[in-house]
Structure 1
Amino acid sequence: MKFLLVLALMFVSVLFGMQQANDGIDRMKGFEDNNFKEALHVTESEGGQVELAVLGNDISSHDIQEKKAKLEEMKAYNFFSTLGKKLAEGVSSLSNKMIELITDLIQ
């Protein structure tokens, strides 16, 4: 969980740094150039929907849902998920055997 938190923080920091660099370039030139894209651009449409663009590429919840469905369809193999499940099973089995051993010693 800590790893994912640090990874997310680093990702946001990189995006923030790219945005700051873009703003610095604009200030240095003294004018805005439309060829430079913002790192993260959030706008709200008239219908109240939030639109997000990362590095000039529009992202919508529909795109994310399509990718999720595609991954589920492919039944992608996740090494870490499998490793975590096996580790959990092993720890559970070990703790059950330890409890059985302790109860047998007490009786």
Structure 2
Amino acid sequence: MIRFFLKSSVLISVLLFGILIGMQQVGFQMDKMKGSESENRALEWNVEENGAVEAEVLGQNITSHDLQEKQKQLENVEAFNLFSKLGAMISSLISDILTLFMEIIGTILNKILYFLFS
């Protein structure tokens, strides 16, 4: 049993180490594909003295004003998602059914206990 545990733990360690090396190599290869050999970060934040926030996402500058405009656009768009509506209806139905079921069980138990102890 101990030998099995040792073999399993060594195998898991080797595989985990291989996964970490693979992830590092993928990162290097993605940087090479982008054509950026420098140490560019995917996301950088800059907060100015007046409170404005600027972010740089993959080389594109985004200010807090841009983010506010996009948030307003998202609030104005009334998207209809069929699956979201169906999910909400089903969860509401299940909740109502379970509530009714619990009320029925509570009423039955209440009557049984009333008859037993009265």
Q: TM-score, normalised by structure 1?
A: 0.52
Whole-Å Cα distance in 2 between the matches of residues 74 and 62 of structure 1? 19
Q: Which runs of 5+ in 1 are unaligned?
A: 1-16, 28-36
What is the match of residue 73 of structure 2?
70
Whole-Å Cα distance in 1 between the matches of residues 59 and 107 of structure 2? 65
SS at the partner of 2:56? strand
Whole-Å Cα distance in 2 between the matches of residues 69 and 49 of structure 1? 18
State the 4+ residue runs in structure 1 displaced beyond 4 angstroms: none
Higher relative contact order (Cα pairs below 8 Å, separated by 6+ residues): 1
Whole-Å Cα distance in 1 between the matches of residues 64 and 82 of structure 2? 26
Determine what percentage of the aligned residue pairs are the same residue.
35
Alignment of 1:25 with 2:37, yes or no, is yes
Q: How many pairs were matched up? A: 80
Range moving further from structure 2, 44-53 or 85-94? 44-53
Q: TM-score, normalised by structure 2?
A: 0.48
Q: Which runs of 5+ in 2 are unaligned?
A: 1-26, 112-118
SS at the partner of 2:101? helix
SS at the partner of 2:37? helix
Q: Which has the higher helix share?
A: 2
Check conservation: 2:53, 2:64, Cα contact below 8 A.
Answer: no
Q: Deviations over 1:39-75 (max 9, x none)?
A: 2232233435331010122222322222222222221
From 48, 51, 55, the equivalent of 1:52 is 55
